[in-house]
A and B are shown apart, each in its own frame.
Chain A
């Protein structure tokens, strides 16, 4: 086993310093070291997007990144996007529009959608569908996910992602 590497980064606004295995993926660092289990693992091949979070403001499949590659980065996970009582408009949208069933893909789907709305605050249905094609959902048929994103887009400027 190779020597642990020092890692310093900010996650959900909180600074963390850790010694990590060089081979550890960011998703496992978030889940196993920080206990942020809202970011899920679904496929191991970067197809499903259940592990999507934001790194320096952009959505990233956290299974495609080594934890050490996030050195110095600002990471945002579903837990930091909003919590009960202070939901992000996308979280409200998914709740309102029945955008989830088993909930397993949901955090990744919401994080991908948050990035989409940052870049395109008023997407068409087609833009939403193409914007989320890197995230798989087996339950919903995506229709209510599209509606949830539209609902959040209508909420407009309040759909800001916390820094």
Chain B
């Protein structure tokens, strides 16, 4: 399209193909491992094979003499290079959190398998890896703590002796009177609910390159948070922020695992500075499994109270969160993050939550897709099913009875959280139009007669995202020492095309495409004329990055606002040139025209040309140029919601679960690009199916990581999954002008309870009423046979940790098929 041709407008809402794709489908993406810089050196990291040990000596002499090796450093040798340790940023008012000093290279002791103890820098990766094997570290093992509940017991070995306890902190929030609800309850149900440890496992491993140049350093890193990384690393290394540039090139998926400031990022910077040459490090998959942060690993003791007629009266959860050995950037906050939606989409007058963090000799946990919200959705939804069983009520009727009615939004929960908008009956109604439950039940009965055990599970979920209103989560709110606005800069060039800069840092979401759609409509140009850039701290203002399903509702809104400002200025310029009043200029069909005189009009190209090279003098109150910046801090979170149904077959002879069908109705407000929403929902559901059925990070009793590769940690493959039946309703959020809510984590938050409930429904005739994830064949089979601990109603004795691979390791049906 030529620049002067008027575009149609109305790009928002269209399923436009992604502009990111052409380079990626032709092998021309630019991921971190694709980058080679002149004179580049390669780093390999020597890591602890012990879960807990004292470092008695490290002999690097042989490694130093190995071919191609430029340098070898231990923690002691680099100690002076760091001005500060890797930070953790949650400081809730009135709560002490034990936060050990966390240095990129360890001195004295190692605290988990994979803890870095030395680095080798060589001319090639192969040389660095070979020489790393020659570093001889003498480690004196200490008792390891693996089970978080045992870690809290008196006399447990301590991960950090200086704190005298393995408890990191305790944080509580409550609203309404739960004790009163409990004493008045006609029905009370209790359950121990486990959300096991998982890995983010993007297919692109992490990696970083530091490049020294004159007085400044550039860090290229596979990160979701380039600006935060620069801010943190500049402090850790005492490099002025203006002398440190952080660039996120194409990033091959994050899922939270790249929402972190990692030791290796600091290490390559320090080494590049010392050696004055570029230094590159790319993790192996085993390094990812052992040292990229994990997620979940929580045990919740949940109590739900109700009246006999099914009216909910209260919920209490005591959560024990296994945080691992160190506090990474958000580690202790992640279990709490979902607290605003602890009551799900139900009216519950009393909510009482208590979180206890625990150190263990494992890798730190932190945000993995969903971060805090999948856990809460999991227990509230399964507790609703359990309550329905107790009351002999239909579980969907129980839900409908307790849904917050759509007329009551904005709805304030007992915790003082305001749900922005919702129509929970609406998504469930639509789900039951798409999925014929009556037909399913008769089919289910027929199949059962043939020995096929099919079941359905539901999840009517709400989540909280669009992170975040700074007043709610910042220092004056829950205490993160950060803010969560987003920045945008919109620059219209003299010829009328535009560049949009975002402080968000997308890594697969397709936001280049949807951001261009948002800007194009507001600028009166075509999306093809909008170039979107992000992920480079030198090209635009500070931004907070991409996570927490925030980049559309916060980052996209910032772009809309900056583009609106540009439009306002364009109208002023246009008015001056057409000798009209600015308020009489309207934008429609790519033309800025004078209201009532459509023949008097200008295109954005003409206006921008005049703004840069005025044909005659612009009025004194109009600066030249056409560029605006916006910093948007939302007033509230956004609360996407939906209704999902998962259908599974369980082979009761083997315990193997197969997802045979999946229905989802999601509501994330009006679509900017419906194709992208569908893709996010598919991927999110799959991530949850992976957690529910296949994936688990397993440590043995000594703290050895059992699942160190994709051979042992089973991601779902195409062969395990059905096609998804997805649909949407659109309930706009009043929080932002686009009306949008997030969708990146929705499927992952929604789906685990639906999968588990489906399995429980399928095996209902066997009498099994509770199972903890992952629902591996061994676990399901043991429960059905009644000779496994999983068969107990409480599941209390179900070993979640330190049980080796039997029964807990991944048992994906794809294991044999990934050849």
Contact = CB atoms under 8 A, between A and B. Distances in A.
Interface residues of B, number: 60
B26 A102 contact: no
B26 A145 contact: no
Given A104-B202, A133-B817, A134-B817, A45 B723 contact: no
B204 interface: yes
Contacts of B26: 38, 78-79, 81-84, 87, 91
Contact of B251 (A42, A102, A110, A129): A102
A47 B713 CA distance: 10
A140 B682 contact: yes
B285 A100 contact: no
B581 interface: no
A125 interface: yes
B67 interface: yes
A14 interface: no
Contact of A48 (B29, B34, B203): B203
Contacts of B18: 95, 98
Contact of B22 (A84, A101, A128): A84
B226 interface: no
A23 B126 CA distance: 10
A100 B204 contact: no
A106 interface: yes
A101 B250 contact: no
A132 B747 CA distance: 23
Given A40-B204, A104-B31, A138-B201, A94 B683 contact: no
A10 interface: no
Interface residues of A, number: 60
Contact of A145 (B23, B24, B126, B718): B718
Contacts of A95: 17-18, 21-22, 25
A138 B202 contact: yes
Given A38-B27, A78-B26, A137-B203, A103 B678 contact: no
Nearest to A77: B27
Contacts of A50: 203
Contact of B687 (A44, A107, A132, A138): A138
B718 A146 contact: yes
A146 B251 CA distance: 23
Interface string A55-87: 000000000000000000000011101111001
Given A36-B27, A128-B718, A138 B683 contact: yes
B25 A110 contact: yes
Interface in A138-161: 138-146
B253 A46 contact: no
Contacts of A119: none
Interface in B682-732: 682-687, 709-711, 715, 717-721, 723-724
A101 B679 contact: yes
Interface string B493-511: 0000000000000011110
A43 interface: yes
B597 interface: no
Contacts of A94: 21, 25
B710 A48 contact: yes
A82 B819 CA distance: 26
B662 to A, nearest CB: 9
A156 B815 CA distance: 32
B24 A103 contact: yes
B427 to A, nearest CB: 20
A48 B478 CA distance: 40
Nearest to A136: B715
A11 interface: no
A1 B67 contact: yes
A101 B28 contact: no
A26 B202 CA distance: 23
Contacts of A125: 723
Given A45-B285, A87-B26, A137-B203, A103 B250 contact: yes
B819 A134 contact: yes
B814 interface: yes
Interface in B244-274: 250-253, 255
Most chain B CB within a 10 A radius of its CB, from A95, A96, A105, A133: A133
B507 A102 contact: yes
Contacts of B818: 46-49, 133-134, 136
A135 B29 CA distance: 19
Nearest to A101: B508
A51 B520 CA distance: 37
Contacts of A84: 22, 26
Most chain A CB within a 10 A radius of its CB, from B25, B67, B508, B678: B25
Contacts of B4: none
Contacts of A134: 717, 817-819
B719 A144 contact: no
B711 A45 contact: yes
Contact of B203 (A21, A77, A138): A138
Contacts of B685: 141
B203 A105 contact: yes
B618 interface: no
A32 B140 CA distance: 40
Contacts of B782: none
A79 B25 CA distance: 9
B284 interface: yes
B683 A44 contact: no
B675 interface: yes
Nearest to B28: A38
A1 B684 CA distance: 46
A135 B718 CA distance: 8
Contact of B710 (A78, A81, A96, A136): A136
A48 to B, nearest CB: 6
B39 to A, nearest CB: 16
Interface in B331-352: none
Interface string A1-38: 10000000000000000000101000000010000111
Nearest to B690: A138
B19 to A, nearest CB: 10
A13 to B, nearest CB: 15
Interface in B189-206: 201-205
B27 A102 contact: no
Contacts of A49: 818
A77 to B, nearest CB: 7
A102 B508 contact: yes
B724 A39 contact: no
A143 B285 contact: no
Contacts of A136: 203, 710, 715, 717, 818
Most chain B CB within a 10 A radius of its CB, from A47, A77, A79: A47
Contact of B31 (A1, A40, A43, A81): A40
A38 B723 contact: no
Contacts of A128: 718
A146 B203 contact: no
Nearest to A80: B27
B54 interface: no
Contact of A102 (B203, B286, B711): B203
Nearest to B712: A45
B93 to A, nearest CB: 37
B507 to A, nearest CB: 6
Interface string B183-219: 0000000000000000001111100000000000000
B817 A42 contact: no
Nearest to B124: A32
Interface in B658-672: none
User: What are the 6 A-B residue pairs with the smallest beta carbon separation, nearest first?
Assistant: A38-B27, A104-B252, A102-B508, A103-B24, A141-B682, A141-B686
12 contacts: A37-B34, A38-B26, A40-B31, A43-B709, A45-B709, A47-B711, A48-B203, A107-B25, A110-B25, A138-B201, A142-B721, A143-B724
Given A42-B204, A45-B711, 20 more contacts: A1-B67, A21-B126, A31-B33, A37-B27, A37-B31, A38-B28, A41-B33, A48-B285, A87-B25, A95-B21, A101-B509, A102-B251, A103-B21, A104-B202, A130-B817, A133-B717, A138-B683, A141-B721, A141-B724, A144-B682
